[in-house]
Amino acid sequence: MGTETVRLFAAIEFDDATRESVWENSSALREHCTRGNFVPIGNYHITLSFIGETSRLSEAKESVLAADGETFVLTLCGIGKFERTRGDTYWLGVKENIALSALAGNVERELKLRGFLTEKRTFRPHVTLARDVRLYRDIRTKTPEINYSVTGFSLMRSDRIGGRMKYSTVAHKEFKK
């Protein structure tokens, strides 16, 4: 019997009220698109580090739980996009935050110490709202800021179930008070 391969990432998860606010902020996008694959409200998160496919689940848990950080408040604001040929990926931005960048760096360092290959691109925190979006008209909308108190982070697993991505928490680390 082989070792199970899972798709993993480290992330900041949100409470229900924050998820609802993110959903409300994306209403203009939903109203002005001809097509799009919208992220289910339960999947909203900020990726700290994408690990990818691995059979080293226990080492990934160890890495994430070894990373440290402190409680901080982040601010979600402004809709942006990554342009793609099939359709753009729209996201809700995050104001620059030193504590968030430090946390992402700590997670990356712990993963690298245990031999995980991490993405080489620059950390650009955001909450993905929809992929493969085509708009029938460009939207220029000002979104209200959403403040969220980050008290910990998680190792998440990604599974495709019934054609949809389902994210589940594998391990969670609360910051020391």
Question: From the candidates 126, 127, 148, 150, which is the catalytic residue?
Answer: 126
pLDDT of 75 over the 90 cut: yes
Domain boundaries, the chain: 6-172
Categorize the per-residue pLDDT at 22 as very low, low, confident or very high, splitting at 50, 70 and 90. very high
Catalytic residue at 45?
A: yes
Categorize the per-residue pLDDT at 144 as very low, low, confident or very high, splitting at 50, 70 and 90. confident
Question: From the candidates 9, 45, 51, 129, which is the catalytic residue?
Answer: 45
Q: What is the pLDDT of residues 36-50, one digit of tens each?
A: 899 999 999 999 999
pTM: 0.91
CB 129 within 8 A of CB 139: no
Q: List the one residue out of 34, 130, 36, 111 whose CA is nearest residue 66.
A: 111
Task: Indicate the CATH number of 6-172 among 3.90.1140.10, 2.30.40.10, 3.40.50.2300, 3.40.50.300.
Answer: 3.90.1140.10
CB 45 within 8 A of CB 11: yes
Q: What is the pLDDT of residues 49-73, one digit of tens each?
A: 999 999 999 999 999 999 999 999 9
Catalytic residue at 126?
A: yes
